[in-house]
């Protein structure tokens, strides 16, 4: 029986339930940075957390991983004594929603309709080589919306707007209007090629369009929290948009010239985009994501 359990455990590991996230949580430190107005950013492991702190209490945008919840709570305590009142999820990925299971019982979780849908069901991803079981009830968003919702909190309107077909099919971008801060979720990887979850309704051209639309409506001097990478601003987001546009154009032209994915990878990308491939998505994987995203829409 013991052997069977060991085999089962090994099998589950092979399925990829944990390896992507397997790490020594004890080594992770949560670093808090003041962004502007009421808003702070927490960095640890996984997606950047946005925090609103003030007289109404605390609101967080995303919550990384459950094993980090105690450290996140300790970091929040250093920012303010108030209670956690709301949790927003920018999208369903486990490195942004893993803490839901701990924070959900403390405060209502708000997210776009597709986030709850995806968290409620088993998610199989070939790209991540991972099967994620349905989340328990307490980890699910209890308030969902299709297009947009506003939370009036700590003296400002916090507007949560859905942008379809970007990083996933359930992305939200969070605008802290009074503080002049925006949390982009994973529609912005600062200085790195992004993950685009094509199996969950993501689309490279959709992400490019969304980022362009957001840039046009951002006020001057706004601080921009990316899903991953250091705190940024409009210039940083514009550089990301130029990268999306430029690299997609290259792949589109090569596809039109009849090049295969292998040929496109062999040719690579110009030096200009080299440093963007030093993160989770290297240049080959990025070219593959663009290729697959464009191919899916070909007649
Ligand atoms: Zn993500």
How high is the pLDDT of residue 22?
63
Q: Is 294 helix (H, G, I), strand (E, B) or coil?
A: helix
- Residue 257 C-alpha to ligand 1 middle, in angstroms? 32
| Tens digits of residue pLDDT in 5-64 | 444 444 444 343 444 456 899 999 999 999 999 999 999 999 999 999 999 999 999 999
Task: Tell the burial category of 14 from Cβ atoms under 10 Å away from its Cβ (0-12, 13-18, 19+).
Answer: exposed
The secondary structure of residue 135, as a DSSP letter, is P
**For the chain, what is the largest distance between any 2 Cα atoms, rounded to a whole number of angstroms?**
64
Q: Which residue has the tokens 């950013």?
A: 41
| Tens digits of residue pLDDT in 95-150 | 999 999 999 999 999 999 999 999 999 999 998 899 999 999 999 999 999 999 99
The secondary structure of residue 191, as a DSSP letter, is T
- Residue 195 C-alpha to ligand 1 middle, in angstroms? 7
Phi, psi of 35 (to 5 degrees): -100, -65
Q: Whole-angstrom Cα distance, residue 295 to residue 274?
A: 24
Kindly give the residue spans of alpha helices, DSSP state H, lying in 16-154: 69-79, 94-97, 100-103, 113-120
Instruction: Look at strands 123-125 and 130-132 and give their pairing.
Output: antiparallel
**Are 195 and 47 contacting, i.e. CB atoms less than 8 angstroms apart?**
no
Looking at the DSSP bridge assignments, the partners of residue 59 are: 52, 86
- Residue 158 C-alpha to ligand 1 middle, in angstroms? 21
This prediction's pTM: 0.92
Average pLDDT on 85-97 reads 98
Residues surrounding ion ligand 1 at CB below 5 Å: 93, 186
**Are 268 and 283 contacting, i.e. CB atoms less than 8 angstroms apart?**
yes
């Amino acid at each position: 029986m013991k052997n069977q359990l060991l085999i089962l455990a090994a099998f589950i590991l092979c399925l990829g339930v944990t390896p992507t996230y397997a790490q020594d949580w004890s080594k992770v430190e949560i670093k808090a940075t003041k962004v502007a107005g009421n808003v702070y950013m927490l960095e640890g492991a996984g997606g950047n957390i946005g925090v609103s702190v003030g007289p109404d209490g605390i609101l967080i945008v995303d919550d990384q991983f459950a094993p980090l919840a105690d450290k996140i709570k300790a970091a929040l305590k250093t920012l303010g004594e108030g209670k956690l009142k709301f949790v927003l999820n920018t999208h369903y990925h486990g490195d942004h929603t893993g803490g839901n299971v701990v924070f959900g019982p403390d405060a209502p979780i708000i997210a776009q309709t597709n986030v709850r849908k995806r968290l409620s069901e088993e998610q199989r991803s070939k790209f991540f080589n991972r099967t994620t079981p349905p989340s328990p009830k307490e980890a699910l968003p209890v308030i969902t919306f299709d297009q947009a919702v506003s939370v009036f909190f700590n003296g400002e309107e916090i507007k949560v707007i859905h942008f379809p077909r970007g990083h996933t099919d359930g992305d939200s971008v969070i605008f802290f209007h009074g503080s002049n801060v925006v949390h982009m979720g994973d529609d912005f990887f600062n200085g790195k090629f992004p993950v685009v979850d094509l199996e969950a309704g993501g689309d490279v051209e959709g992400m490019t369009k969304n980022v362009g639309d957001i840039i046009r409506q951002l006020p001057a001097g706004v601080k921009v929290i990316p899903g991953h990478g250091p705190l940024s601003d409009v210039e940083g987001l514009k550089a990301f948009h130029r990268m999306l546009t430029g690299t997609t154009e290259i792949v589109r032209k090569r596809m039109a010239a009849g090049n295969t994915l292998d040929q496109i990878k062999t040719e690579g990308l110009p030096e200009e985009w080299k440093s963007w491939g030093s993160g989770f998505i290297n240049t080959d994987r990025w070219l593959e994501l663009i290729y697959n995203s464009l191919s899916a829409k070909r007649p």
